[in-house]
Amino acid sequence: MNPLLMILIVIVLIIVILLLIAFIRTLFIKTKTSTYHPSDDSSRANDYAEKLQKMIRVETVSSRENQDIAKFLKLHKVMEEIFPNVFEKCQKIDLGGNLLVRWPGKDPDLQPIVLTSHLDVVPADGQWSYPPFEGKIVDGKIYGRGSFDVKCGVMAFYQAVEELIIDGYQPDCDVYLGSSCTEEIAGDGAPTICKWFTDHNIRPFLLCDEGGTIVSDPFVGVHGDFAAVGIFEKGYGDIKIIAKGKGGHSSTPGKNTPIARLAKFINEIENKSPFKVEFTPAVDNLLYVMAQHNSNFLLKMVLSNLWLFKPILKKVMPAISSQAAAMLQTTMCFTMQQGSNATNVIPQEAYVTANLRFIPFQGKDESLNIVRQIAKKYDLEIEEITCNDPTSSLDLNGEQFLMAKEVIHKVFPGVEVIPYVVTGGTDSRFYDGKIDASIRFEPVYVSNEQLSKMHGVDENLDINTLPLAVDYYKEMIKIQEKRK
């Protein structure tokens, strides 16, 4: 027999055997269901919605140009009125427009925990169905800027502490409630709070911040509700790519003018991403959970047998899903551009800006070096505007993540927990390296439509998700007793 034919037959047999192993393994994976059950306690839901409504009515849009602290101090006063026991029994620490409250625990030697969500919101442009700073409640939904992002979280953990104080409960460890007023503009709010902890030699055991939420149908073929817990944040970078030339009149153009060179550079980046595609433990875990809940047998087989199909998924996932690409690699998006000020003038200098989100295995320095090498081919200069590395990752086998899973399963029975890569930015990143761990999870349910309105028109939230959000924070406080 021809040796080449024999090799081909052996290769085919190996492939068949591997596929058969994957097929058999998949047969033994029982399909799971995951369902969110909202609270049916309308009395609590309405009470919490009224408190959130009062917080929404204080307009707290943050601005880099004019940071008005007075509006945040006004919100502090409103919160003092609606959470009277918190501000009577706890220590309020004055940090300007930022709000930090300490609830003393029984054991001063036990590391504290921090519950945090920001007080500021983005502008409410566009034509809203209801005034964006009214907190109108319609058909069981509360509308307004901050209803979801993220005054609901602030309301929930303050209400949790309020109720625990009323019940006579005292936590084992100190519990801090920390909310910045500059999260949406990446300002100095969270760094100020973080500095206070550092100055007082306090290293929190756990920080609970926003990040993921409870979401529905997160993947192709997967139906159900999942608690997406953010375990790390990608790094952030804004850069300017500059092209210089001699300028001149557009009637006699030369070759490789500044805009043309920028266009070639953009085309190369857009057509073939230069960044590595890798699977992190978080993505491996995510895909396996998705496999367990997948009704499509072929997809279940692929996702549950990464040992075989991972090389294929590395190629396919970034091509079919921008969300998948963001989880698997550094991303680069072109955002602004500037050339000459006249339609008939070749610019002496033109530039584009780009936003990058750095993945941990290919951080800021390596990613920017790749961009510089490509820019060099087209005689372009790179200027860093602002750049920071990814945060450290939460240990999926660590005490904090296991605590979060236990609490989620208790408060939201039927909801599966999936690790989530936070592609945006939160205040948590400023605490990186200064606390033991961060859980990035906002304990509310949002539909895909509500998620799309987070920074847009008609931001809203179901009020029946509020009672369970309060219960989540209660249990996160109580579970710290296990650390004795």
pLDDT at 159 over 80: yes
Residue 15: CB atoms within 10 Å: 11
Higher pLDDT, 282 or 463: 463
Task: pLDDT band for 1, please (50, 70, 90 cuts).
Answer: low
Q: Quick check: helix, strand or coil at residue 483?
A: helix
Please give the Cα distance from 178 to 102 (Å, whole number). 9
Strand 225-233 and strand 416-422: pairing? parallel
Residue 34: CB atoms within 10 Å: 22
pLDDT at 345 over 70: yes
pLDDT tens string 293-324: 888 899 899 999 999 999 999 888 887 778 88
User: What is the predicted pLDDT for the residue at 47?
Assistant: 98
Q: Note the residue count of the chain.
A: 484
Check if the beta carbon of residue 215 is closer than 8 Å to that of residue 225: yes
Q: What is the DSSP letter of 67?
A: -
Query: Among all chains, which residue has been given the structure tokens 């320095």?
Result: 365
pLDDT tens string 116-150: 999 999 999 999 999 999 999 999 999 999 999 99
pLDDT tens string 231-261: 999 999 999 999 999 888 888 888 899 999 9
CATH of domain 42-232+392-483: 3.40.630.10
Contacts of 450 (CB under 8 A, 6+ apart): 148, 459, 460, 461, 462
User: What is the predicted pLDDT for the residue at 4?
Assistant: 79
Cα R_g (the chain), whole angstroms: 26
pLDDT at 13 over 80: yes
Which residues, listed in sequence order, are joined to residue 121 by a DSSP beta bridge? 61
User: What is the predicted pLDDT for the residue at 484?
Assistant: 67
pLDDT at 221 over 80: no
What mean pLDDT do residues 342-356 have? Answer: 95
Query: Among all chains, which residue has been given the structure tokens 């609901």?
Result: 152
User: What is the predicted pLDDT for the residue at 15?
Assistant: 85
What is the enclosing helix (H) or strand (E) of 216?
Answer: strand 206-216
Indicate the angle between helix axes 69-82 and 42-56, nearest 10 degrees. 150
DSSP-assigned letters across all residues of 256-316: S-HHHHHHHHHHHHHHS--S-----HHHHHHHHHHHHTBS-HHHHHHHH-HHHHHHHHHHH
Class of domain 234-388 as given by CATH:
alpha beta
Instruction: List C-alpha distances in Å: 447 to 134, 214, 272, 359.
Output: 22, 9, 33, 27
Please give the Cα distance from 347 to 243 (Å, whole number). 9
Please give the Cα distance from 479 to 407 (Å, whole number). 8
Among 62, 367, 394, 136, smallest CA distance to 239 is for 367
Six token digits for residue 113? 């925990």
Rounded percentage of the chain residues whose pLDDT exceeds 70: 100
| β strands within 104-254, DSSP E | 113-116, 137-138, 141-143, 175-179, 206-216, 225-233, 235-244, 248-249
pLDDT tens string 365-391: 999 999 999 999 999 999 999 899 999
**Please, what is the average pLDDT of the chain?**
93
What mean pLDDT do residues 77-84 have? Answer: 98
Six token digits for residue 374? 């490509």
**Residues spanned by CATH 3.40.630.10 within the chain?**
42-232+392-483
pLDDT at 202 over 70: yes
What mean pLDDT do residues 75-102 have? Answer: 97
Query: What is the value of pTM for the model shown?
Result: 0.90
Sign of the dihedral defined by the CA atoms of residues 414, 219, 150, 38, in that order: negative
pLDDT tens string 415-438: 999 998 898 889 999 999 999 999
Please give the Cα distance from 60 to 74 (Å, whole number). 9
Among 98, 233, 108, 238, smallest CA distance to 171 is for 108
Cα 439 to its chain centre, rounded Å, is 11
pLDDT tens string 99-119: 999 999 999 999 999 999 999
Check if the beta carbon of residue 432 is closer than 8 Å to that of residue 235: no
Please give the Cα distance from 189 to 174 (Å, whole number). 21
Residue 412: CB atoms within 10 Å: 24
